[in-house]
Structure 1
Amino acid sequence: MTAGPALWLGSLLLGSFLGLSGSASLLRRLREHTQQLQEGSDPSLDLSLGPSALVLPKEGWLEQPLDPFNTSDRRVFLQRYWVNDQHWTGQDGPVFLHLGGEGSLGSGSVMRGHPAALASAFGALVIGLEHRFYGLSVPAGGLDMAQLRFLSSRHALSDMVSAHLALSRLFNVSSSSPWICFGGSYAGSLAAWARLKFPHVIFASVASSAPLRAVLDFSEYNNVVSRSLMNTAIGGSPECRTAASAAFEEVERRLRADEASQEALREELGACGTLSRLEDQAELLEELQALVGGAVQYNGQAGAPLSVRQLCGFLSGSGNRSHSRTAPYRGLRRAAQMVMRSLGQRCLSASRAETVAHLRNTEPQGSGVGDRQWLYQTCTEFGFYVTCEGPGCPFSQRPALPSQLSLCEQIFGLSVSSVAQAVAQTNSYYGGQTLRATQVLFINGDADPWHVLSITRPLGPFESSLLIPNASHCLDMAPEKPSDSPSLRLARQKIFQQLQTWLTLAKESLVRGGA
């Protein structure tokens, strides 16, 4: 362990909600916003949580090799971690390792949410490990291409292995203590891959909403969004789906009209810049599409600015006497205003040039939520480009896949063929949805657009999966609420039982090994 990073990192998060970028960034801002509100900025100040909340988590820094695959490269960076040892029964107790993903990781990662809540029952030490190049764990050289080549899921897994060794020594963790990985979304994939690639280090993993299959054209995302808008159990309806389509048709009609109509649209939606260029129009449509997708992806979660029920109420004109052709459009406008207020954004993105400039910024201060870093990972590993080209998609067919892939070329000089090849290599290396790892529990919600890239049915006797009806993205990891659905409560009981089974197995293995 070493001291904290240089002072320049202190301003890393200042730009979290100030920059402008495309729809992928809006979804990430929604994720960051929701996560921060759920975890809280300082759990020690929330007296409503009881005496346990008064225990401050420990923040530490590990010196990690920048290039763990080249022993002759002596460069290092500082990786942040958090520790909660208030429930730990001692050096033989289990370790719950909460992996960070494509964003900053705060103290709430070891103090709030379901993984942390499980620690008291099992006497576990809880460790949160921030992902390299995100949050405050950014190498001192910044985010230029020479540095970003050390950013990948494989590098992150190598960091996990070396952190396991260093933290075991630092906290005097027994070599027989089972380590169980937790992670959600991309970090959920990392948790599953950690067990797949390093079973001698990670005893078991809980992977929530983990997209295991890399895919270039992620049109399935909007297919799930469309179904969820019709799901009456979460506040949707067929009329809501129809209204969403009508709202986007109206936006496109106004974009095709004269300059005066475009300017009126810009003012009404709070768009940034003009809408005279086709690429800027596509940027606005992409942002609006992400706004609707985000309402589905984070539906029902504390801190989420917009739910499916609220969105459908706006689109259907609830509380509005007018049921004209433009009523769904006005509802979409109200939804946009609500989200912008919640995220602290002054306007919606509608300038491709500003998006490109934002993503080209190699200074960490301009990439608080990791937009440049995550785009790099999508270009070099995962794809995940959400499109709306099928007949069942309720949104605009702009922007198409080529428009999104062009960012890889503009920002990083990566060709379309190289991105496609990277996606194929990722699936080949990890196995995609045919991943053959034992002792992994996959958890998904069927209302979450990402569940179609995960594992929702067991692949064998040593793999388990839970598909929670009407649940959104990583909902099982969120702090428990009195309003949680019976299916979510049942899923958490099953997670608890699975951990019991694994830890019993770990003890039995230890006894057999010592016999």
Structure 2
Amino acid sequence: MWDIAENLGAMLIFAEHRYYGESLPFGQDSYSDSKHLNYLTSEQALADFAVLIRELKSSIPGARLSPVIAIGGSYGGMLSAWLRMKYPNVVVGALAASAPIWQFPGMVPCGDFYKIVTMDFAKSGFDCDVNIRRSWKAVDNISSTAPGLQWLSEEFSLCAPLKNNQDSIGFKAWLQESWVNLAMVDYPYQASFLQPLPAWPIKAACKHLSFSSAVSDYSLLRGVSEAVKVYYNFTGNTPCLNTSQTATGSLGFLGWYYQACTEMVMPMCTDGVQDMFEPQEWDFQAFSDECHALFGVRPRADWAETAYGGKDIRSHSNIIFSNGGLDPWSGGGVTRNMSDSLVAIVIPDGAHHLDLRYNNERDPPSVRAARALEVKYFKEWITEAAAAA
């Protein structure tokens, strides 16, 4: 968008989603209880954007007849698609990058997400996924004694030492999220979207995880420690690793968790066979109970399908769904054309919304081609809008 806005004579507008950043409807009380959080919904956010666009068109000289294209990545990509679906009178088209609009109950298998994470590691180094799968048992073995817990804490440079079995469970969850985040940001050049990282960071991590099955638990976890530090300490400036924080903290985690606890119910599961993680079934009731304990609310499992049409979206038009082959969220994305104007673009070498990033000399040909195709559609939508005006 940075490059093409100037080419198309366009203005870029960034609208902050209610309840995120500084857009707090009730100030410091916005997150105080479910009564104040009640207005945190995607539908309300979409209405905000529709009102904002109308206001901008009426107040910016020359903008009244300008066509508007919605662009977003991840949850923002979902909103872009839904904005076109719900307000076709407001936006002429949408680019929904890495938008998992089908990552909802009954739409895609709950294990697809973690299968893609595993595939990324499997092809990035010899037995990389195999050794991560073996590491969970190694953590259990070593954390079963007090000296083992101390060794793990020191080896991983943890800010707070592991003290008991509950801590080791949390430690494994932290490791799992670290591998997921690496898969999301497996970009072909140095980047700092979630953390400062090297080019192709999974390959960099897998260099520490490519060894034979005969290696000891301690040697295996030394490799895991070096691999995870590619993610958390690539710069070498991090004095210790905090397992209670992940690199997604700055992305408004609490707000998103509330939305997941109400309308954004996204089933995830692992089986330890087709993926490299410990088996964990999707348990809606347990999730619902956790939401109730946290926020006093219960999730509406089928609301996203009711509100946005689920997989039956063929009546809509002018939406590009782009997905990276390396991105685990592509498992819940639209990866095939639904009609002539509901178009899917798959970028085999792309991680999470790579096509929305600045052009880079190390971009793979597949993302360059995707961007060119996206611009082609943009120009068609603009031409159509001008003809209809």
Relative to the length of structure 1, the TM-score reads 0.66
> 1:295, 1:308 within 8 Å by CA — same for their partners in 2?
yes
Query: 265, 287, 296: which is aligned to 2:183?
Result: 296
Query: 205, 209, 214: which is aligned to 1:315?
Result: 209
User: In 2, Cα distance between the equivalents of 1:459 and 1:345?
Assistant: 50
Could you tell me how far 1:349 is from its partner in structure 2?
1.9
User: In 2, Cα distance between the equivalents of 1:403 and 1:203?
Assistant: 41
**Corresponding residue for residue 386 of structure 2:** 507
> 2:2, 2:358 within 8 Å by CA — same for their partners in 1?
no
Query: 215, 219, 228: which is aligned to 2:104?
Result: 215
**Corresponding residue for residue 224 of structure 2:** 332
Could you tell me how far 1:214 is from its partner in structure 2?
4.0
Could you tell me how far 1:389 is from its partner in structure 2?
3.4
**Corresponding residue for residue 409 of structure 1:** 292
More strand by share: 1
> 2:264, 2:304 within 8 Å by CA — same for their partners in 1?
yes
| Counterpart check, 1:348 vs 2:348 | no
**Corresponding residue for residue 129 of structure 1:** 15
Could you tell me how far 1:281 is from its partner in structure 2?
2.5
- 1:231-242 map, 5 Å: 231=123, 236-237=124-125, 239-242=127-130
| Counterpart check, 1:435 vs 2:313 | yes
In structure 2, the gaps of 5 or more residues are none
> 2:160, 2:242 within 8 Å by CA — same for their partners in 1?
no
| Counterpart check, 1:391 vs 2:265 | no
Query: 138, 158, 166: which is aligned to 2:47?
Result: 158
**Corresponding residue for residue 142 of structure 1:** 30
More helix by share: 1
Which letter does structure 1 place at the counterpart of 2:202?
A: V
Give the secondary-structure state (helix, strand or coil) at the position aligned to 1:434: coil
Query: 225, 228, 234: which is aligned to 2:117?
Result: 225
Q: 1:345 to 1:161 in 2, by over 3 A?
A: farther
User: In 2, Cα distance between the equivalents of 1:434 and 1:247?
Assistant: 41
- 1:484-495 map, 5 Å: 484-495=363-374
| Counterpart check, 1:497 vs 2:372 | no
User: In 1, Cα distance between the equivalents of 2:183 and 2:103?
Assistant: 21
Q: 1:407 to 1:348 in 2, by over 3 A?
A: farther
User: In 1, Cα distance between the equivalents of 2:217 and 2:162?
Assistant: 22
Residues 390-413 of structure 1: CA deviation (Å, up to 9, x unaligned)? 532212336975766553133112
Count of equivalent residues: 369
**Corresponding residue for residue 169 of structure 2:** 282
Could you tell me how far 1:117 is from its partner in structure 2?
1.3
Give the secondary-structure state (helix, strand or coil) at the position aligned to 1:243: helix
Query: 284, 303, 312: which is aligned to 1:425?
Result: 303
User: In 2, Cα distance between the equivalents of 1:405 and 1:264?
Assistant: 36
In structure 1, the gaps of 5 or more residues are 1-114, 356-366, 511-515
Give the secondary-structure state (helix, strand or coil) at the position aligned to 1:483: coil
Which letter does structure 2 place at the counterpart of 1:119?
A: A
Give the secondary-structure state (helix, strand or coil) at the position aligned to 1:129: coil
- RMSD of the TM alignment (CA)? 2.7
User: In 2, Cα distance between the equivalents of 1:448 and 1:390?
Assistant: 20
> 2:125, 2:207 within 8 Å by CA — same for their partners in 1?
no
Give the secondary-structure state (helix, strand or coil) at the position aligned to 1:464: strand
- 1:231-270 map, 5 Å: 231=123, 236-237=124-125, 239-255=127-143, 257-270=144-157
Which letter does structure 2 place at the counterpart of 1:370?
A: G
The range that moved more, 495-504 or 373-382, is: 495-504
Relative to the length of structure 2, the TM-score reads 0.86
Give the secondary-structure state (helix, strand or coil) at the position aligned to 1:384: coil
**Corresponding residue for residue 100 of structure 1:** none
Percentage identity across paired residues of the two chains:
26
- 1:59-74 map, 5 Å: none
Which letter does structure 2 place at the counterpart of 1:316?
A: S
